């Protein structure tokens, strides 16, 4: 189990390396009858595509997806969907030097420890390009969620210490700046900071926030497969992610029961909650409120600033990482967060269909 498979019912298997032939994903368990064309997936891949601003790697890749199976006359057939993106600009030469030493903050050392050697070209499997398969599969999961009235939106909440102001919050701003920030003012500040850090050969981290609207109550299993637990695995499995929190998250540690509990009330005849400190999840199950979570991303480890490290001959050396790197990973990770959230959620929505015997009997009666 190399661990490139995710999901129990809506199951995906991603594959591919930064500088290999291609990258892709197989989705096993997509229901039949979903309208799907390459464009649906391409739109999402375009959101993570490199080369769209000076703050992303200058590597040029079209990241054009092909659907190789599982579709017939514009609809999914219920059989596995195979998606592939061929690499074009895999200039391996750029990376030959790094074969000999361990880049700080990267998986070079741990790959060697685990497997005895590594595909050192551009990070191999631990490159950011690994997320192509996640985003392609996630695009399908998001289409499924849309059919169920569910909408996922992630955005940069904080970059390099600059946070959005919720008074300025406007999701539409997100696409207008290179940082996926829903606050134009914060985005301007980040632009200045990022330009400066980029010039210094340094990089920035940040926080991505994600809101999910329209989830019916009761999704998530009660013990190990709680919705928030599965979201946590999904999001923490994104390279560079170092923290995950739901609702008030770490803030709850210093709150009291009386200030943290969300009181139930009646609104328009329906049960609702006045506050949403829980982030839309109670006992691991969705409660009908918006689901809100955040993920912390570390600064890109590849920096041209001089760093100390060791080589494979166990010598201490100084290095400056060359190559085509993003000075910050957060903007392009936003769509990856949406994809992973969708993949977790679809799996648990499907799982939930067998929660009640009466509904199973009804299902098969019709």
Please state the residue numbers annotated as binding site for NADP(+). Answer: 48, 54
DSSP 8-state symbol, 117: S
Residue closer to its own copies (CB basis): 159 or 186: 159
Residue tagged 């009997």 (tokens) = 361
Query: CB 253: neighbour CB atoms within 10 A?
Result: 8
196 contributes a contact to its own copies by CB under 8 A: no
**Which residues, listed in sequence order, are joined to residue 65 by a DSSP beta bridge?**
85
**Sites for its own copies among residues 199-228 (CB under 8 A):** 202-207, 216-226, 228
Q: Which of 96, 261, 320, 322 binds its own copies (CB under 8 A)?
A: 261
Q: Binding-site residues, please?
A: 48, 54, 125-127, 283, 298-302, 324
Hey, what are 18's tokens?
Answer: 């930064």
323 contributes a contact to its own copies by CB under 8 A: no
- C-beta of residue 232 within 8 angstroms of C-beta of residue 321: no
DSSP 8-state symbol, 124: G
**Sites for its own copies among residues 159-178 (CB under 8 A):** 159-161
Residue closer to its own copies (CB basis): 93 or 172: 93
260 contributes a contact to its own copies by CB under 8 A: yes
Residue closer to its own copies (CB basis): 172 or 267: 267
Q: Binding-site residues for FMN, please?
A: 125-127, 283, 298-302, 324
Stretch that binds its own copies, among 43-51, 165-173, 179-187, 233-241 (CB under 8 A): 233-241
Burial class, 149, CB count within 10 angstroms (exposed 0-12 / middle 13-18 / buried 19+): exposed
**Sites for its own copies among residues 97-126 (CB under 8 A):** 102, 104-107, 109-111, 113-119, 121, 124-126
What are the start-end ranges of the H helices in 36-148?
Answer: 38-48, 108-115, 131-147
Residue closer to its own copies (CB basis): 114 or 172: 114
- C-beta of residue 286 within 8 angstroms of C-beta of residue 278: no
1 contributes a contact to its own copies by CB under 8 A: yes
Stretch that binds its own copies, among 19-27, 42-50, 53-61, 179-187 (CB under 8 A): 19-27
Residue closer to its own copies (CB basis): 69 or 100: 69
Burial class, 258, CB count within 10 angstroms (exposed 0-12 / middle 13-18 / buried 19+): exposed
Helix (H, G, I), strand (E, B) or coil at 48: helix
Hey, what are 70's tokens?
Answer: 């599982």
**Sites for its own copies among residues 333-352 (CB under 8 A):** 349-352
236 contributes a contact to its own copies by CB under 8 A: yes
Helix axes of 131-147 and 330-351: crossing angle, nearest 10 degrees: 50
Query: CB 29: neighbour CB atoms within 10 A?
Result: 16
**Sites for its own copies among residues 137-156 (CB under 8 A):** 144, 147-148
Number of residues that bind its own copies (CB under 8 A): 168
Residue closer to its own copies (CB basis): 40 or 225: 225
**Sites for its own copies among residues 47-106 (CB under 8 A):** 66-70, 72, 75-82, 84, 102, 104-106
**Sites for its own copies among residues 268-307 (CB under 8 A):** 269, 271, 274, 278-279, 282-288, 296-303, 305, 307
Residue closer to its own copies (CB basis): 19 or 47: 19
Please state, in angstroms and as integers, the Cα–Cα distance from residue 233 to each residue in 224, 225, 322, 341, 357, following that order.
Answer: 11, 10, 32, 10, 29
CB of 51 to its own copies, least distance (A): 21
Sign of CA dihedral 7, 148, 137, 50: negative
Whole-angstrom distance, CA of residue 171 vs CA of residue 113? 43
- C-beta of residue 228 within 8 angstroms of C-beta of residue 281: yes
Residue closer to its own copies (CB basis): 172 or 199: 199
**Sites for its own copies among residues 24-43 (CB under 8 A):** 24, 26, 28-34
Work out the widest C-alpha separation in the chain, in whole angstroms: 71
CB of 184 to its own copies, least distance (A): 20
């Amino acid at each position: 189990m190399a661990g490139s498979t995710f999901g129990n019912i809506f199951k995906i298997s991603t594959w591919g390396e930064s500088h290999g032939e291609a990258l892709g994903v197989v989705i096993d368990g997509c229901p039949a009858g979903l309208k799907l064309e390459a464009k649906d997936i391409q739109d999402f891949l375009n959101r993570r595509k490199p080369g769209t601003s000076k703050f992303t790697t200058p590597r040029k890749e079209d990241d054009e997806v092909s659907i190789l199976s599982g579709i017939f006359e514009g609809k999914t057939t219920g059989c596995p969907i195979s998606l592939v993106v061929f690499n074009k600009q895999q200039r391996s030469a750029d990376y030959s030097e790094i074969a000999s030493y361990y880049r700080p903050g990267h998986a070079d050392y741990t790959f060697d420890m685990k497997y005895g050697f590594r595909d050192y070209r551009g990070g191999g499997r631990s490159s950011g390009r690994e997320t192509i398969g996640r985003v392609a599969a996630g695009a399908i999961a998001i289409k499924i969620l849309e059919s169920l009235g569910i909408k996922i939106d992630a955005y940069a909440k904080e970059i390099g210490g600059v946070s959005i102001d919720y008074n300025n919050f406007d999701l539409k701003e997100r696409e207008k700046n290179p940082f996926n920030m829903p606050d134009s003012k914060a985005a301007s500040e980040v632009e200045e900071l990022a330009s400066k850090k980029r010039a210094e050969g340094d990089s920035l981290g940040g926080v991505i926030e994600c809101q999910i609207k329209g989830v019916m109550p009761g999704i998530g299993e009660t013990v190990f497969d709680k919705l928030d637990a599965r979201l946590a695995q999904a999001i923490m499995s994104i390279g560079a992610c170092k923290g995950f929190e739901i609702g008030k998250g770490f803030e709850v540690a210093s709150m009291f029961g009386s200030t943290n509990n969300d009181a139930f009330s009646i609104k328009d005849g329906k049960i609702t909650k006045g506050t949403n400190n829980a982030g839309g999840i109670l006992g691991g199950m969705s409660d009908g409120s918006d689901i809100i979570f955040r993920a912390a991303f570390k600064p890109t480890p590849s920096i041209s600033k001089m760093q100390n490290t060791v080589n494979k001959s166990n010598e201490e050396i100084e290095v400056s990482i060359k190559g085509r790197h993003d000075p910050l990973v957060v903007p392009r990770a936003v769509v990856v967060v949406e994809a992973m959230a969708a993949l977790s959620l679809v799996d648990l929505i499907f799982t939930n269909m067998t929660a009640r015997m009466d509904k199973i009997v009804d299902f098969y009666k019709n």
